Chains A and B, each alone.
Chain A
Amino acid sequence: MKGMTVIVRTIARWVKVFIFLYGCLITITGHLTPGGGFAGGVIIAASFILITLAYGKELALRQLPLRAAAGLDSVGALIFLVVALFGIGFGGIFFANWIQRRFPGGSFHLLSSGAIPVYNIAICLKVGASLFITFVIMSVLRIVVQKDGSFRMVQDEEEE
C-alpha cells in the first residue's frame, strides 16, 4: 500500500493523536459517561488504521508491530481473566469486585468503582490490538492476491 497525498498525510498525522487520546479518554471514564473499553478500543484501533491508510502499513507496523499487537491481544484478555480470578482470592468468589469492596471511592469519581476501570482498560487493549491486526492481515493478503501468480503471503510472525 503506497499511502495517500501530502495533505491527507499531514492531516492524518495530527488527527491520529487526537483520535488516540479520545479513545483513551472514553476508556478510562467508561463507568462515568457513555463509552467504555470496547468503544475506546475500536477508536484506538481506528487511529492506527488511519495511519495505515494514509502512510501505508510500514509506518503503522513500525509504531505497533504485529507481534506486539498479538501479544497485547492476549495480555488484555489475560488481565481481564486474572482480575476476575483474583475475586476468588480477595472477595471469595469469581468476579467479585474486590477492588471496590476494599477501596470504595466516592461516587462520580474516576476511582469510584474498583475493578470496572481495570476491566475497561483490559478490554481496550484487547480490542484495539486485535482489530488492528485483523485490518493489517486483510490488507496484507489483498496485495498478494492482486499480484497474481504464485501465492506467498509475507506475514510478520510466520512460523518456521
Chain B
Amino acid sequence: MSILALPVMVALPLGFAFLIPIVARRAKAVADSLANIATLGLVAFAVLLLPVRGVYVIGGWKPPIGISWVLDGYGNLMLLVVAVVSFASTLYSVRYMERYTASHRYYSLFLLMVTGMNGVIITGDLFNLFVFLEIASISSYALVAFGCEQDELEASFKYLVLGSIGSTLVLLGIAFVYGATGYLNMASISQGLASAPRSPLLILAFVFFIVGFGIKAALVPFHPWLPDAHPSAPAPISAMLSGVLIKALGVYALTRVLFNVIGVSESLAIVLIAVGVLSMTVGVFLAVGQWDFKRLLAYHSISQMGYVILGIGMGGYILAVGGRVEVAALAMLGGIFHLANHAVFKSLLFLCSGSIEMATGTRQLKEMGGLGERMPVTRATCTIASLSIAGVPPLNGFWSKLIIIIAAFQASVDHPWFIALAAITIIVSFVTLISFLKVLRYAFLGALSQALQQVKESPALMCVALVILAVFCVGMGLLLVPPVRETVLEPAVRALMGGLGYAGAVNAAVAGL
C-alpha cells in the first residue's frame, strides 16, 4: 500500500454519501449495508495505510501552489480511531435507527461527517482544513437535531451558534496568517512564520485559533454546548461526537496547528496546561451531580479531553523550555494514547446508554435499576468501559492515565510545580471512579422496578458493536508493548515532537516526488 491510496479516505465516504440519497431512498436495508460497507472499507484502508507516510499532491500542483495531503504518524492513528469508531457506530445504527425515519439522510450525513474528519486529519493546507472542519460541523449540527424533538432542536441550535462562531474565528485567524505570510500551505506558513516577528496581529490569530478549535473541542471556557448537544443526539451520533468529532476537529486540529505550524512556545504551552487542568476539574465536578446518564457521560468527555490536552501541553512545555526530551515524549505519549483510549471507551459508554434507553425508555439513572440480569451483554460492556474511563487496571484508560502521571512526576524533578498537576490528575481519576461506580450501581444492581419488567437485551447486531469496542478497551493496553508501540503510538508522538520540523519533512517529501 502506498500513499497513492490516500484519496480513498476521503473519496470513499464522500462517494457513498452522495450515492445513498439516490439509490436508498425507499430501502432502509440498502442504506444500512452501503454505510456499513463504507465504514468497514475505511477501517481496512486505515489499517493498510498505517505504515505509510508521505505527501500526496492533489492535482499534481506541488505545494505551495496547490493543496496537498500530508500523512504522518499522528494522522495515521487518528484515521484508524475515526474508522473504528465509525464502523462500530454504523453497525449499531442498523437496529437503533429503526425508530427514526429518513435513514438514507441519516447515513448520508453520517458519512459526510466522517469525510469531514478524515479531510481535516490528512490535509496539509490551512484553508482546506477550515473547509473540511465545516463539512464535519454542519453534518453534526444536523445529526444532533435528527430526532426533531424540542431538546434536540434547542441543543442543535446552541451547538450551531457556538460552532459557527468558532469556525468564523478560525477563518479570520487564517486570513490574518495569510495577510502576514502570503501562504496557505501549512509547511510554507510555518517557514514564513519562523522568519516573521511575533506581531500583535499574529498573536491575535493564534488566540483565534485557540478559541475556535477550543470551541470545537469543548475545552472548559468554551464548553457550554457540549452537555446539551451530546446527550440530545441519537446514541450512535453521541458516540461519534464524543468519541471522535471533538478530537478530530478540536484537539487534533489545535495541536497540529500549534505544534507543527506555529511552533509551541512556553506561554502557549502554559495556556494548554491551564485549559487542560480547568477542563479536567470543572468537567468532573459537574459530572458527579448528574442523574441523566448521557449528560453525565457528556461532562466526563470534557474532563477526559482535559487529560489529553494536559498530556500534550506538558510535553510542549518541557520541549519549549528545553527540558528532558524523553520526559516530554512520555507526556505526549500519555496524551495521545489517552485520546485514542477515550475515543473507544466513551463511544462504548454512549452506545451502552443508547441500548439502555432503547430498552427502558429513560435516561434517568434513578429510574433504572436491576437491569443487569436482563441485559447481560450491556452490563458486561458497560462495566468494562466504566472501569476503563475510571482508570482501573488492566484496562486501557489505566495505562494512559498512568503514563501522564508518571510523566508529571518525572518532570517535577526539573519543574516542581508539575507535582500539583500529578496530584490533580490523581484526584480527578478518583472522582471519576466514584461517579462511574454510581452509574453501575444505579443502572445494573438493585431490584428491577415494576415498570421495567418487560426489558429485553438489545438486538444482536447492537451487541456485536458493543463487544467489538469492549474488546478494544481490554486489548488496547497491548499498544504499549514495545514492538507494537513502534508502529502505532511512537510515530504519532514523533510527529508532534518534531514540531516545526514538519515543514522540512513535507518539503523533503515533495522534493522526492
Please judge, given known A-B contacts A88-B7, A157-B25, A159-B26, whether A78 and B57 are in contact too, CB under 8 Å: no
Contact with A along B27-71 (1 / 0, CB 8 A): 000000000000000000000000000001111100000000000
Contact B21 A94 (CB under 8 A): no
Q: Is B22 in contact with A95, judged by CB distance below 8 angstroms?
A: no
Q: A78-B18, A95-B58 are in contact. Are A85 and B7 (CB under 8 A)?
A: yes
Q: Tell me if B11 is interfacial: C-beta within 8 Å of chain A.
A: yes
Contact of A94 among B7, B25, B101 (CB under 8 A): B7
Cβ contact within 8 Å between A71 and B101? no
B287 → A minimal CB distance (Å): 37
Annotate A88-103 by CB proximity to B: 1 below 8 A, 0 otherwise: 1001111111000000
Chain B residues within an 8 Å CB radius of A91: 60
Structural contact, B11 and A71, CB atoms closer than 8 A = no
Chain B residue at smallest Cβ distance from A158: B101
Inter-subunit contact A74/B60 (CB<8 Å):
no
A118 located at the interface, meaning its Cβ lies under 8 Å from any Cβ of chain B in the complex: no
Whether B467 is near chain A, meaning CB under 8 Å from some CB there, is no
Q: Which residue of B lies closest to A76 (CB)?
A: B18
Given A85-B7, A159-B101, also A93-B57 (CB < 8 A): yes
**Interface size class, chain A:** 20 to 34
Which A122-160 residues have a C-beta within 8 angstroms of B? Answer: 157-160
B interface majority secondary structure? helix
> A71-B22, A74-B19 given as contacts; is B14 within 8 A of A96 (CB)?
no
Q: Is A81's CB within 8 Å of the partner chain B?
A: yes
Q: A81-B11, A81-B14, A160-B101 in contact; A94/B22 too (CB < 8 A)?
A: no
Question: Is A77 close to B, CB under 8 A?
Answer: yes
Q: How far is the CB of B334 from chain A (nearest CB, A)?
A: 36
B residues in contact with A157, CB < 8 Å: 25
Binding site for B on A (CB under 8 A): 70-71, 73-75, 77-78, 81, 85, 87-88, 91-97, 157-160
Q: Can you list 25 residue pairs at the A/B interface with Cβ under 8 Å?
A: A70-B21, A73-B21, A74-B21, A75-B22, A77-B18, A78-B18, A78-B22, A81-B11, A81-B15, A81-B18, A85-B7, A85-B15, A87-B59, A88-B7, A93-B59, A93-B60, A94-B7, A94-B11, A95-B58, A95-B59, A96-B59, A96-B60, A97-B59, A157-B25, A160-B101
Known: A87-B59, A93-B59. 10 other contacts (CB 8 A): A74-B22, A75-B22, A78-B18, A85-B15, A93-B60, A94-B7, A94-B59, A96-B60, A158-B101, A160-B101
